[in-house]
Amino acid sequence: MAPKHVAVIATFDTKAPEVAFMTSLIEKQRHVPVCIDVGPLTKSSLRIDFSNRKIAQLAGWKLPELIASGRRDQIMTAMGAGASKALLKLLKKNRLDGVIGIGGNQGTAMAAMAMRILPIGFPKFLVSTVASGNLRPYTGHKDIGVMFSVADLVGGPNPVSRSVLTNAVSALLGMVENGSRISLKRDEKTIAITALGNTEPSAQHITALLRHKGYQVITFHASGAGGSAMEELVEAGVFKGLVDLTPHELTEEVVGAGAYVPVKAGRMTAAGNAGIAQVVSTGALEYLCFGPKESIPQRLRRRKTYFHNPYNANVKASRKEMEEVGRVMAQRLNGARGPLELLIPMRGWSIYGSKGGALYDPQGNNRLLKALKADLNPDIPIKEIDVHINDSKFADMCVERILNLIN
């Protein structure tokens, strides 16, 4: 195997001994480490391919001026942005096959910021002291492998950190040597679909029918990161069509609350911009998702709530919020450059939002639909169907319409 280039991102002012240990592991496997320093105060004797001065320069700063600003957030943002540009330079020169970052809170933030510039499917790994907490703000919707450092990364490798760092480097090298990037086979036809547990029966039925027709179907959990990842892959040209069965994340984006707010703003725009065929529905637009009870904001605690499990609460969106969702949905779909149809199941948009369900609110649904119709381009077909979203008849219609639009 030809040697692979593996980038190591760290704050070399505080993590030089750990970096030296990791680069030695990479070299032992006959690969080439590429060192990227995001530590603004480094004065290290290590060989550094991208010094902190170079990283600051790539971000449009002179390092002394950046440090003199005294703004820690600005320094971290600039160094993370500079590191992302370093990765892109390496990628364009075919000198990057994988990347690993280590750090505490600040180092994690900068390394993750840099890695997020890389495409989904590219080998990336992160060892972090804060990995036991909420890493969504760090990793976003990217496929970054994460390992908790267990011991703090201070004072050089020790019996605990040696084990963790060795395993982390081995995991990354396994991806580099044996992993697979996203690629389509010749004439492979792919369709994306969005789902939540509340719409899973329909999603499964649609998937089975489309596979029978010779399509690869890739399902995205409408969890904020799932929808954002799907939209990036739409932009990358992976899909022929989209069945946006469950655009739930749009409600959380419009309301600005919930655990499933899209990582990347602008849900329901990528497919339209790309001009691919779309069948769009209203799955799970009537509620917001939160974690345990204590995670629900105080202002929302008197609303109708259904606990999907002890760690997942579904909170009813207000009728005013649903009306605004309808308006925003119309505005975004109006920009579509490809074929598009809306299918609305009138007997319920989720399991809990149907008659007898804890979140049943036909008046709220009607207000969303009224706002949607008022602002929607009249050239976009919208069909109301007297079924529940999880009825097989509705799934059949979604399949029929998406295939018609693609063909």
- Name the DSSP class of 311: T
User: What DSSP letter does each residue of 208-238 carry, written as one string?
Assistant: HHHHHTT-EEEEEE-SSHHHHHHHHHHHTT-
State the fold for domain 5-178: Rossmann fold (3.40.50)
pLDDT of residue 134: 85
Q: Strand 382-385: give its sheet, edge to edge.
A: 216-221, 190-195, 241-244, 277-280, 340-345, 382-385
pLDDT of residue 46: 65
CB atoms within 10 A of CB 51: 17
Q: What residue ranges do the domains of the chain occupy?
A: 5-178, 190-406
Q: What is the pLDDT along the chain (407 residues), one digit of tens a residue?
A: 799 999 999 999 999 999 999 999 999 999 999 999 999 888 765 679 999 999 999 999 999 999 998 888 899 999 999 999 999 999 999 999 999 999 999 999 999 999 999 999 999 999 999 998 888 989 999 999 999 999 999 889 999 999 999 999 999 999 999 999 888 877 789 999 999 999 999 999 999 999 999 999 999 999 999 999 999 999 999 999 999 999 999 999 999 999 999 999 999 999 999 999 999 999 999 999 999 999 999 999 999 999 988 899 999 999 999 999 999 999 999 999 999 999 999 999 999 999 999 999 999 999 999 999 999 999 999 999 999 999 999 999 999 999 999 98
Q: Strand 5-10: give its sheet, edge to edge.
A: 32-37, 5-10, 98-103, 124-128, 145-148
Same CATH topology for 5-178 and 190-406: the answer is yes
User: What DSSP letter does each residue of 106-165 carry, written as one string?
Assistant: HHHHHHHHHHTTSPTTS-EEEEETTTTS--HHHHTTS--EEEE-SS-S-SS--HHHHHHH
State the fold for domain 190-406: Rossmann fold (3.40.50)
From CA 388, how far away is CA 335, in angstroms rounded? 28
What tokens does 157 get?
A: 């490798």
pTM of the model: 0.89
Please, are residues 224 and 249 in contact by the beta-carbon 8 Å criterion? yes
Please, are residues 114 and 84 in contact by the beta-carbon 8 Å criterion? yes
Q: Strands 277-280, 340-345: parallel, antiparallel or unpaired by DSSP? A: parallel
pLDDT of residue 42: 83
pLDDT of residue 289: 96
pLDDT of residue 45: 58
